[in-house]
Amino acid sequence: METRHSVECWMFGEDGRVLLLHVPPRDEVPAGFWQPVTGGIEPGETPQEAAAREVTEETGLAVPPARFARVRGDLRVTIDDDHDVLKTLFAVDLPAGDVRIDPDEHDDSRWLPADDVSRALHWQSNLWTWRLVREFREASA
C-alpha cells in the first residue's frame, strides 16, 4: 500500500470563525466540497513547515511554522485498497488579512461560525478531524 504524508490545517480567525476552502466540482463530488487547508509534506520538510507553506499557497496568508499547534500526528485515512494518507493535524489562529485563494485549487473561501462547520463538510475524514480539533481547542482554553 502506498502512503502519502500530509498536513491538515484548521484556521481560526480572531472572532473564532473557521476558514474553509471550496474545491470545485469533480466527477466523484459533482457539487464540489468544503475543506480546511490540506497538502502534502515535501521531502526534507517538517509537518509544521509543510503546514505554513500550504497555508501560504492556499490562502496567501503568511504564518510562521511555530504558530501552528499540533493537534495530532499520524492519523491514517484510507483512500482505497492501494492508497492511504498519514495526516498531521494542526490548528492555527490567524492574523488579520485578506484570503487570496489559488483558483487552480479552490473556487471559494468562507469564514464560518464553528457551530456551522460540520454541516459544511463532505468527507467523513474531515468531520472526524474537525471533532479532534474542537476537543483540542476546548481542552487548551
Structural domain range at position 63: 2-140
CATH number of domain containing 19:
3.90.79.10
pLDDT tens digits, 3-17: 788 999 999 998 999
Cell matching residue 54: 500550504
Conformation bin of residue 75: beta by default, left when phi > 0, alpha when psi is -120 to 50: beta
Count of domains for the chain: 1
Q: What is the pLDDT of residue 51?
A: 97
Cell 472526524 belongs to: 128
Strands 2-12 and 83-93: parallel
pLDDT tens digits, 83-100: 888 899 999 998 767 899
Strands 18-23 and 2-12: antiparallel
Weakest mean pLDDT among 72-76, 110-114, 119-123: 72-76
pTM equals 0.91
How far apart are the C-alpha atoms of 28 and 12, rounded to whole Å?
Answer: 29
